[in-house]
Structure 1
Amino acid sequence: MLNYRPKMFDEASKSHASKNIFIIILIFIAVFIVIAILESIIPGVVSIKPVLEELADSDLEDTSVLFDTKAVTDLAARVASKPEVMIPTMFSTIFGTICSLIYCRCIEVRKVSSMGVKKAGFFRNYLPGILIGLVLMTAAVLLGALFGIHTVKLSDDFNIGLIVLYFFGFIVQGMSEEFIFRGYFMTTIGGSGKHTLVAVGISSVAFSLAHFGNPGFGPLAFFNIALFGAFAALYMILFDNIWGVCAIHSIWNFMQGNFYGISVSGTGDTTSVFRTVAKSSSTVLTGGKFGIEGSILTTIVLLIATAAVVYGISKKSAAQTAEAQTETVNA
């Protein structure tokens, strides 16, 4: 496991990218800023009307409200969670996928296969990813229900049309984050000659830090998001393919937000099939405003999932070593 390198890292090593880790990180920050700007254009436009409506409903005679950080943050969170804003925001993340592909293909001058983007076996990788994402989130929710941390009840009213839109929105959003942090950033680090675990570790921490501004983000949320990043990175390395983790990421978020009715990384409540209500006052158990991703329940589920993937990589690595030794002896 410690010495295992996927084929995509070898392919990425043939790129024009710098081999200096600090330059790689600085370039990634620059690319990430460009992506963030592009992804914010459409949400910025569609947010104008809801913001004005929120302001109209507020008492603005006292202009000091505009300088109240908490009031402004709460207003922004309410607007961002509205379907007319959140759904376009999710679809706007397609710029993350597009920019990552353009950068790797045109700037680093490497094949998209080095990002784990393979034409062959798309459904063979994507469909199991859907099941895994469903199982992982369901396991975390059921653990909480089993120990009385929260209750899960069928929603009294939910909008099927909106849920379908959220589903496809999460398909785009999950894919884009995987292309940015795993398909681009991790493989660039791996291709620079750095150890596989270095590539996994740095990309996972960067992935978690990208959630820093989300409501309720704290130490446990930081650890869990980084742990999800590590799990996703190792899963991608195991299969040398990005499509499986794209599916896991998308369905993880969809099940969380629009099936079980839990705030996705602090983005607020949306229409959902079920509604999960906290019974415990402990943020360690419930995740607080950040949602179940900030809970110890997610830690447990992801540690088990990560251990299973590490075991799979270890077996694959051992098989490759044995095969290489056999070829050496035969030679």
Structure 2
Amino acid sequence: MDTQNLANLLLLPCIAVFGVIAIRSRGLAAVGLRPRPRTFVLGFLIGTVAISVVFVLLRATATIEVESVGGDTGMIVALLIYLVLLALIEEAVFRGLLMNGIGVAVRSDWLAVGITAVLVGVPYFFAEGAGALGILSGVLSGVMYGAAFLATQNIWLGAGLRAAWNFVQGPLLGFPVSATMLVDDPLIHQMATGARWLTGGVYGPEASVPGLVIRLVVIAYLIRQVKTSRSLAGRDGQAA
């Protein structure tokens, strides 16, 4: 077993402990599993636009070269289904259980976002070619999904965002996703020709400066949504 998989396994006791704390203190409803199709679609659109902007920036600066277009359609569709289901499971586990439980323990939602982001980001430290940018990106991804949960109090916005980010980045645009090629025959076949800090190298654009900038833009948007939702909740409480 490699170090990255071992780090993932070591998360399981934390998830179990804090998951129990979350459910006992906040109830099962607080995990945010109740279906929200429109919220999922919104997250998917945000993720699609975000990673597409990274692709456009890299093409505009000639740091990637498109070699061909056309892939294994059946495999791409199968991966879409798989990545959607995986995103829902991961958000339920990492945000609904782990982050919620940590929030109860530390009595601060934002501190819980940060702690969860670091814990879940640790396995990225050991991914091939991650480097400082890849590690930072892994932690920021946790902040992004954590903010999505706080903005909606459910897993669906973050799940849509996660599913689109991975699907569009890998099977559609042909990038590595956290150092892994998800499909051998993506829709777009392209090759990185620019500096590693611009393309992310073997790790993928998540470990690039453009990728980090776009991630920060999404985080800023989600933080604003958190403030808006809490402001509206406060007004409703006063009106009641």
| Same fold (TM > 0.5) | yes
Does structure 1 residue 261 correspond to structure 2 residue 177? Answer: no
Matches within 5 A, 1:47-66: none
Identity %: 24
Give the equivalent residue in structure 1 for 2:3: none
Mapping of residues 129-144 of structure 1, within 5 Å: 129-144=43-58
TM-score between both structures, scaled by the size of structure 2: 0.85
1:115 maps onto 2:31 in alignment: yes
Q: Does 1:245 align with 2:155?
A: no
C-alpha deviation, 1:183, in angstroms: 1.5
Contact 2:18 2:100 (8 Å CA) reproduced: no
Following superposition, the deviation at residue 199 of structure 1 comes to 0.4
Alpha carbons 1:231, 1:309 under 8 Å: kept:
yes
Alpha-carbon distance change, 303 to 283 in structure 1, aligned in 2, over 3 angstroms: same
Task: Establish whether residue 220 from structure 1 lines up as the match of residue 133 from structure 2.
Answer: yes
Residues 127 and 323 from structure 1, CA distance in 2 versus in 1: closer, same or farther, beyond 3 angstroms? closer
The Cα RMSD (Å) is 2.7
Provide the residue aligned with 1:186 in structure 2: 99
* Secondary structure of the structure 1 residue equivalent to 2:126: coil
SS at match of 1:192: helix
Q: Could you tell me which residue of structure 2 aligns to residue 159 of structure 1?
A: 72
Q: 1:107 to 1:135 in 2, by over 3 A?
A: closer
The one of 191, 199, 202 equivalent to 2:112 is: 199
Q: Label 1:278 to 1:202 Cα distance change in 2 as closer, same or farther (>3 A).
A: same
Q: Are residues 228 and 274 of structure 1, via their aligned partners in 2, closer, same or farther at CA, if it must alter by over 3 Å?
A: same
SS at match of 1:210: helix
Q: Would the aligned equivalents of 1:104 and 1:112 in 2 still touch at CA under 8 Å?
A: no
Q: Which residue, 68, 72, 86 being the options, matches 1:173?
A: 86
Deviations 1:207-261 (A, max 9, x none): 2112233211221111112112111111111111101211111111011110000
Given residue 236 of structure 1, which amino acid in structure 2 is its aligned partner? F
Following TM superposition, by how much is the alpha carbon of 1:174 offset from its aligned partner in structure 2, in angstroms? Answer: 1.9
Q: Work out the CA distance in 1 between the residues paired with 2:178 and 2:10.
A: 24
Higher alpha-carbon Rg: 1
- TM value normalised by structure 1: 0.63
Question: Which whole-Å CA distance do the structure 1 matches of 2:150 and 2:21 have between them?
Answer: 23
Counterpart contact for 1:105–1:112, Cα < 8 Å: no
Post-superposition shift, 1:30?
Answer: 5.3
On the 8 A contact 1:262/1:291 being kept in 2, the answer is: yes
Q: Distance in 2 between matches of 1:325 and 1:187?
A: 25
1:322 CA displacement: 4.7
The one-letter amino acid paired with 1:132 is: I
Report the secondary structure of 1:212's partner residue: helix
Letter in 2 for 1:126: F
Cα distance in 2 for partners of 1:301, 1:261 equals 18
Question: Quick one: distance in 1 between partners of 2:140 and 2:21?
Answer: 31
